[in-house]
Amino acid sequence: MVAKQLWLGWRAWRSYRASFLLGIIGDLAWLLFTIVFFSSIYSHAGDIGGWPWADVLMLIGTAHIVNGLYTALFESNIRRLSAGVKNGSLDRWLTYPADVQLLLTFGRINLRGFLTALLGAGITLYALSPVVSQPRLEAVAIYALLLVGAVIVRLAAAFLIETLAFFLVNVEILRALQNEFYGYATYPAAVYPNWVWKLAFTVLIPVLWMANIPAAALRDPEIAVWWLFFPPLLLALSRKAFAFALRHYQSAGG
């Protein structure tokens, strides 16, 4: 199944190479802009709230890993939910003898997302040695688990937004607003004024999950490990919300 989707992704790249290359150029430009933006700040300041330059560079890399994996595996798939509610194609999905949410989560693969993730991994590895002089195996393991958790959090949060299509029909504004918030994922948690803001941007709008929470495993793994409970909890919430919405769905025919 995965091999088939990779083949389809390769064929899509072959058919739309110009669009694919423009997308890569855009991703690179945004990555370079982010690095230049923070490097210009650090040229005038030694650190931001206790975060040195190498730590922030790791945040940038981690955010690109999470965003790349989400884009590669899930983004184009879950958008079929709101589109299906709007144009009626969801009715066809509901006739399949399978878990509809899983069907709407997997399927298409975006190869460009993997390239973004690889760029992020390269930046993270480059930043890692200054951050941790002697990396502990358990810290790296927790970091990897939290990376997976961050992708799950991004997926579950996006699915909750798409589920609102059952009641609002058009969720493009909410989707764009959510993505706009994720643009702040590379900012150190220290920029938030107090624990209330930090909690809000971890649980309600999980921006800190996109980089700060995984990166915390390399700074203080004992504290970071406690956040591993959150991704399955949010995923379970997204499934409950989808099931609730389906019970009130009357199909495209009314």
CA 223, distance to chain mean position in Å, is 22
> What angle (nearest 5°) sits at the alpha carbon of residue 193, between those of residues 197 and 202?
30
DSSP 124-188: HHHHHHHH-SS--HHHHHHHHHHHHHHHHHHHHHHHHHHHTHHHHS--HHHHHHHHHHHTTTTS-
Q: What is the pLDDT along the chain (254 residues), one digit of tens a residue?
A: 544 444 444 455 455 566 667 767 777 777 777 777 777 777 777 777 778 888 888 899 999 999 999 999 999 899 999 888 888 888 888 888 889 999 899 888 888 889 889 999 999 888 887 665 556 788 889 999 999 999 999 999 999 999 999 988 788 889 988 888 888 888 888 888 888 888 899 998 899 999 999 988 887 888 888 899 999 999 999 999 999 998 888 776 55
Confidence at residue 2, expressed as pLDDT on a 0 to 100 scale: 43
pLDDT for 21: 73
Q: What is the pTM of this model?
A: 0.85
Rounded to an integer, what distance in angstroms lies between the CA atom of residue 221 and that of residue 226? 9
Task: Please give the structure tokens belonging to residue 128.
Answer: 């890692």
At 63, the amino acid letter reads A
What pLDDT, on the 0 to 100 scale, is given for residue 11? 53
pLDDT the model gives residue 6:
44
Q: Residue 17: its pLDDT value, please?
A: 62
The enclosing H or E element of 18 equals helix 17-42
Over 54-119, what HEC string results? HHHHHHHHHHHHHHHHHHHHHHHHHHHHHHHHHHCCHHHHHCCCCCHHHHCCCCCCCHHHHHHHHH
- In the three-class reduction of DSSP (H, G, I as helix; E, B as strand; rest coil), residue 192 is classed as coil
Cβ contacts of 187 within 8 Å, gap of 6 or more = 59
pLDDT of residue 132: 55
Q: What are the boundaries of each domain within the chain?
A: 2-247
Token digits for 113? 């997302």
Nearest partner of 221 among 111, 146, 109, 119, judged by Cα: 146
Residue 72 CA: distances (Å) to CA of 55, 69, 115: 26, 5, 9
Which residues lie across from 48 on neighbouring strands?
51
Report the C-alpha gap between 21 and 42 in whole angstroms.
32
Q: Is 64 left (phi over 0), alpha (psi -120 to 50) or beta?
A: alpha
pLDDT of residue 96: 87
Distance CA 79, CA 166 (A): 13
